[in-house]
Structure 1
Amino acid sequence: MTITETAPPTINTLVEADPHELDTSANVRDDVDITDDPVFIESVATHGVLQAISAVRRADGTLAVIDGQRRTLAAREAGLTSIPVLVREETAEDKAATIERITAQVVSNDHRTDLTRGQRMSAVSQLLDLGMTVPTVAKKLALRTDYTEQAARAGRSANARRRVDDGQLSLEGAALLADLEAVGEREPWVAEAIENILDRDYGIVWPLEKLRRRIGERADASDAAADYTARGFALLRDEPSTNTGQWFSLADLRTAGGDAVPADTPEQAPHLWHVHVHTPGLIWIDKKTREELDESEIDFDTEDDAEAEPDEGTVHFDSVEQTRKWHFEFFLHRDHLADTGLAVAPTVAALIAGEEEDQDSDDGLTAAQRAAARAEAEHVEAQRAERRKVKALNRAGATATDLRRSFLTGLLAGKSAPKNATKWMIGTLAVHGDVFTEHKCSERYAEIMNTPLTSAADKAENATAARAEVLLLARVLTAFEARLTGTQDAKDYWRFSAKHYRGMVGIDRYLTFLADAGHTLTPVEQAAIGNISVDDAYAAVSDD
């Protein structure tokens, strides 16, 4: 904030400040519409703010308006960039008084239901900013602790508060938006992505979740590539196309003598090369040897049983662990090609040149050889394009799993099951009763219900008939969730449209039931049950 001091610092200091940078949120009610008073705005535009705004300076340097909210808003509307503000340092007494005022406004307005949900969220954020803890705020305002924690995050975002009031976002979605906006303050690409998402009129939770996962993946990739970037390699976030002449992989290039490029060539001049980092996902490795193991080499039945003997040809579950596997691939931009002394391979050159230049080409190839070279290059590019497609769909599958399980947790926390749930269970289990044999059944139940499967009988014993039906539904739905994602928590269930992929029978019934219960199916889930094609799903989830 740019502030011009006009007097020596005293208890009260008169400063000139930009009205857009003043915090006017001290009052819980933030729906003052100054445009309803055009005469006042015109007066401020003509004469300026004649009576100084009163404000306190917080510890972080921001100025919080104590008296003069309407004058500040009018100055903003009039386009003023500087107004007089009488400032004093915030004291403990000021904080206590603000806490008391906000609390009183929330409690009294709650009885009259005058406050919007967004305004309550803002109040929670303000109280935490004043130094109160989540449990204290929850107790003082008679709120659940989990609600208070999410409201505190969401309340810091005007976009989130507005979309909660409009019914476009749940509290959880609003908290996610606020968290992403905080990242966007440091990462311009995130801010731009959020802006594009918010331009949509509906369905913004899915792309927000996708963006959240993308941020995490980029951070993981940066960490994985840290050794390379420290040596001078530039990090390439997405695998580039190599059939346009812009980028070249090692396989696309040749030495001056026409030989294949040695694998260690990029290490000789890292400042000329980009490294692309990607992961096929989690793998199992032996804890001692660190060697990769196939899932078939592990006896999963020995989990949590140290004395159990694994089946012949397999290893005990306790001797393995999961880790993320990373692949590193090097690419050269055409601007650096001359600096390396390398040449483009004839196959790639033929593809780049295009058929219209066949007659004038001096690459030493016959027309038939050139056509074969082009076909081979196109085949290689098609394989790379397929890899990009699979990675994008798998990434979307992981995001969809997060959203679906969050929906399940909320659905199964209810006092009663959706209409016709029992009929659906009877019809489904008559055909797919073996779903309870899925390896991860108990883990999925415990994860989604936040309680072990072994406690289900006791909970049903003390539950109402309606709640007992919910517990039965939880057993069925979490078993299908285990079938959908498999033992490895797989993301590729979008392949189910090929029918019975990975033994995923009944998945169409499962996802359709969730949709009928209120879950918005994501593109990968739509593809899994055949509502849309895999190509359409890819088009919907592809990142820019």
Structure 2
Amino acid sequence: MESVALAIDPSILDDHEHDHDRAAEVADAAAADPDPASDAQQLPHVEALWRDPAELVIAENVRKTFDLTEHLDIVESITEFGVDIPIIAERQPDGSLHVTEGQLRTLIALDAKIKKVPVWVRDADPDLPDNERRIRTTLMQMNVNDRRVAMVEADRADGIALMLDLGASVTRVAKGLQRKRSQIKHAATIAASATARGLVDAGAYSLDQLAVIADYETLGDTDAVERLLRVPRSSFSYTANQIAADREETRARMEAAVFCAALGFGILTAEPDTSSLDSTLLPAELLETADAAPVSEELIRAQAHRWLVYLDVEENGQLVDVQTGELVDPDQVDWDTQGRSESQPGEGLRHADSVDYRDRWIPLYFLPADQVAESGLKLRPLAVDEEAGSDRAEALRLDALQAAAERESARLERRRVRELNKRGLAAKERRMEFLTRLLARRTPPAQAGQFVAESLARESDLLGSFHAPKAARDLLGVSGFTDELVSSIQSATASRAWVVVLAMVLGAFESRAGKDSWRYNDRGVQRYLKFLATVGQQLEFELVDVEQAAAGPIDYHDIDLDIDADPGLAGAVTAAAA
């Protein structure tokens, strides 16, 4: 018999197979997702019950990898309030209740010895094949876990603010949400700020940083908000400290200016530039009376309405009683008692801890040029004399220019010292935050051994410096005296003990790294700052301008006082430390 070959178009077979697959998909969909609105669909019988969690059976669950100790916030919430979200269970033909959703809630309730939990129960379909039941349960469990919509932090902040507005205490809200009191306060502050609230879910700022932004926005200080939003996260705390110092100085200056304003003086918020011979404001030292006498403060006060005053600050310019604020003569203090509360001062002297150095506000007086004639004063001969001979007039003009330039140079130098000291203090506060974070680790950074060895080799008495032990204890969070530090060392692991050694060396250097280190050439402090620049690369820490000046790569005269600190040269510092 001759064989016959049948020519069949493959596409016909493909279409047939596709039709079969589509039919199977439709059938599966109908079985898995019946239409609840269909008259033919019988809704399952359900009950809302309260049950002892010990009566529930943990059935097969798609979630198998978990550790209750990693979910302490949920544990604390259920321990405090019980189970709020009902557990879903199926009643089996034998009457047992098998948990299909809420496994973690059930286990936590059992661990917390909660007597009753809410359970949403429906009867298992006895006609449903076991494999189909397991498929449906697994689909439900995965969808429930995957499709949860987490609350955004902005909404959480709003909720916290609402509860506080309704009269709930910070303690109650913190306990109820298993959060620290500081976090609750920050969240309420953030909720009141449109800028901070808009940034909270981006993750670019911590809650502490957002709270700072929110505080300034609430105060209407848009300049502070803009400055904080411009700087990188690694410089945020430094800039925040610097702004706080600026605002504190402004408040102190305004408080000191109240007395001057009460006398009738106009108040200047910035020291004027008087370097030009055509300046509209003349400093008092350029003026004299009709009989060529210097202009006294009494004479100025007598015509206060004509004068303007700027209050300059002399840092630590006066010694005062810490209790009363009264001025104290330094010769009346027994300075050997400083830091020693148990020591008795010498006869007729007072304890050094009873006094403190504070800033002194110095009034600088300026007379508008158009008020000179009416004031009865005149310019000192240092100014140009039109009636003098040409040689004499030129000499006077040059002298006047030089004097004006020297005044301006002195003004700029005062400002530079004042501003860089403020930056130095802000940088020190930020450094302390970083050091505390660095020394909380269980193991020292890889570069620590070489740094410590070299530091001790170069300065054998480094750890004996006056403030070093206390600085180390502060950095490690150890209260009390040396005995407490020794006790913590005795209970530490070998790696942690090396962290303590590092803390003592860092504390020694930090105790001598003052706010004005930018103007000195301390080789030890330079090594210290370069070490911090190196280890800080992975910990969001870079040296700012005053620290770079102290470390050596830049000259403090080159720091621009009118822009925010730039950590851009930190790479140069790190390279120099390598």
Q: Give the structure-1-normalised TM-score.
A: 0.66
Query: Could you tell me how far apart the structure 1 residues matched to 2:527 and 2:157 are?
Result: 38
1:129 to 165, 169, 184: 165
Matched, 1:246 2:280: yes
CA separation of 1:416 and 1:139: change in aligned 2, threshold 3 A: farther
Query: Could you tell me how far apart the structure 1 residues matched to 2:179 and 2:362 are?
Result: 47
1:276 to 305, 310, 320: 310
Structure 1 SS opposite 2:315:
strand
What are the Cα deviations for residues 307-333 of structure 1, in whole angstroms up to 9, with x where unaligned?
4769xx997534643333222222223
CA separation of 1:164 and 1:238: change in aligned 2, threshold 3 A: same
**Aligned match of 2:490:** 461
**Aligned match of 1:529:** 551
**Aligned match of 1:264:** 298
Query: Could you tell me how far apart the structure 2 residues matched to 1:270 and 1:512 are?
Result: 52
Matched, 1:293 2:324: no
What are the Cα deviations for residues 461-487 of structure 1, in whole angstroms up to 9, with x where unaligned?
3344444333333222222111112xx
**Aligned match of 2:12:** none
Q: Is the 8 A contact 1:414 1:470 kept in 2?
A: yes
CA separation of 1:281 and 1:123: change in aligned 2, threshold 3 A: farther
Q: Is the 8 A contact 1:302 1:309 kept in 2?
A: no
Query: Could you tell me how far apart the structure 1 residues matched to 2:492 and 2:169 are?
Result: 34
1:8-157 to 2 correspondences below 5 Å: 114-157=150-193
> Which stretch of the first structure deviates more once superposed, 114-123 or 457-466?
114-123
Q: C-alpha displacement at 1:446, in angstroms?
A: 4.7
Q: Is the 8 A contact 2:275 2:407 kept in 1?
A: no
CA separation of 1:200 and 1:512: change in aligned 2, threshold 3 A: closer
**Aligned match of 1:305:** 342
Q: C-alpha displacement at 1:379, in angstroms?
A: 1.9
Matched residue type, 2:336: D
**Aligned match of 1:407:** 434
Q: C-alpha displacement at 1:250, in angstroms?
A: 0.8
What are the Cα deviations for residues 70-116 of structure 1, in whole angstroms up to 9, with x where unaligned?
xxxxxxxxxxxxxxxxxxxxxxxxxxxxxx9xx99xx999x968345
Structure of higher CA gyration radius: 2
Matched residue type, 2:401: R
Runs of 5+ in structure 1 lacking a partner? 1-99, 185-189, 351-357, 486-490
1:483 to 487, 506, 512: 512
CA separation of 1:457 and 1:145: change in aligned 2, threshold 3 A: farther
2:417 to 390, 401, 406: 390
2:258 to 194, 202, 226: 226
**Aligned match of 1:470:** 499
Query: Could you tell me how far apart the structure 2 residues matched to 1:132 and 1:397 are?
Result: 41
Query: Could you tell me how far apart the structure 1 residues matched to 2:282 and 2:231 are?
Result: 37
Q: Is the 8 A contact 1:117 1:165 kept in 2?
A: yes
Structure 2 SS opposite 1:473:
helix
Query: Could you tell me how far apart the structure 2 residues matched to 1:315 and 1:396 are?
Result: 34
Query: Could you tell me how far apart the structure 1 residues matched to 2:252 and 2:467 are?
Result: 27
Aligned CA RMSD, in angstroms, stands at 3.8
**Aligned match of 1:331:** 366
Structure 2 SS opposite 1:239:
coil
Matched, 1:495 2:519: yes
Query: Could you tell me how far apart the structure 2 residues matched to 1:427 and 1:116 are?
Result: 50
Matched, 1:370 2:397: yes
1:314-325 to 2 correspondences below 5 Å: 316-318=351-353, 320-325=355-360
Q: C-alpha displacement at 1:495, in angstroms?
A: 0.7
Q: Is the 8 A contact 2:444 2:495 kept in 1?
A: yes
Structure 1 SS opposite 2:559:
helix
Q: C-alpha displacement at 1:525, in angstroms?
A: 0.7
Query: Could you tell me how far apart the structure 1 residues matched to 2:431 and 2:331 are?
Result: 28
Matched residue type, 1:330: Y
Q: Is the 8 A contact 1:283 1:292 kept in 2?
A: no
Q: Give the structure-2-normalised TM-score.
A: 0.62
Structure 2 SS opposite 1:324:
strand
**Aligned match of 1:31:** none
Q: Is the 8 A contact 1:233 1:274 kept in 2?
A: yes
Structure 1 SS opposite 2:513:
helix
Q: C-alpha displacement at 1:267, in angstroms?
A: 0.8
Structure 2 SS opposite 1:264:
helix
Q: Percent identity?
A: 31
Structure 1 SS opposite 2:518:
helix
Matched, 1:511 2:529: yes
Q: Is the 8 A contact 2:239 2:564 kept in 1?
A: no
Structure 2 SS opposite 1:326:
strand
Query: Could you tell me how far apart the structure 1 residues matched to 2:283 and 2:487 are?
Result: 60
CA separation of 1:380 and 1:322: change in aligned 2, threshold 3 A: closer
Q: C-alpha displacement at 1:520, in angstroms?
A: 2.3
Q: C-alpha displacement at 1:396, in angstroms?
A: 1.4
Q: C-alpha displacement at 1:420, in angstroms?
A: 3.1
CA separation of 1:297 and 1:247: change in aligned 2, threshold 3 A: farther
**Aligned match of 1:9:** none
> Which stretch of the first structure deviates more once superposed, 172-181 or 450-459?
450-459
Query: Could you tell me how far apart the structure 1 residues matched to 2:255 and 2:415 are?
Result: 21
Q: C-alpha displacement at 1:174, in angstroms?
A: 1.8
Q: Is the 8 A contact 1:396 1:541 kept in 2?
A: no
Structure 1 SS opposite 2:297:
coil
Matched residue type, 2:524: G
1:425 to 436, 452, 474: 452
Matched residue type, 1:198: L
Q: Is the 8 A contact 2:471 2:510 kept in 1?
A: yes
Q: Is the 8 A contact 2:267 2:308 kept in 1?
A: yes
Q: Is the 8 A contact 2:192 2:218 kept in 1?
A: no
Query: Could you tell me how far apart the structure 2 residues matched to 1:449 and 1:176 are?
Result: 26
Q: Is the 8 A contact 2:275 2:408 kept in 1?
A: yes
Q: Is the 8 A contact 2:309 2:363 kept in 1?
A: yes
Query: Could you tell me how far apart the structure 2 residues matched to 1:466 and 1:331 are?
Result: 63
CA separation of 1:233 and 1:410: change in aligned 2, threshold 3 A: farther
CA separation of 1:439 and 1:430: change in aligned 2, threshold 3 A: same
Query: Could you tell me how far apart the structure 2 residues matched to 1:276 and 1:327 are?
Result: 8
Matched residue type, 1:238: A
**Aligned match of 1:194:** 225
What are the Cα deviations for residues 13-51 of structure 1, in whole angstroms up to 9, with x where unaligned?
xxxxxxxxxxxxxxxxxxxxxxxxxxxxxxxxxxxxxxx
Q: Is the 8 A contact 2:333 2:352 kept in 1?
A: no
Matched residue type, 2:196: A
Query: Could you tell me how far apart the structure 1 residues matched to 2:349 and 2:530 are?
Result: 38
What are the Cα deviations for residues 181-201 of structure 1, in whole angstroms up to 9, with x where unaligned?
2222xxxxx324433553567
**Aligned match of 1:51:** none
> Which stretch of the first structure deviates more once superposed, 315-324 or 256-265?
315-324
CA separation of 1:424 and 1:336: change in aligned 2, threshold 3 A: same
CA separation of 1:292 and 1:116: change in aligned 2, threshold 3 A: farther
1:429-440 to 2 correspondences below 5 Å: 429-440=456-467
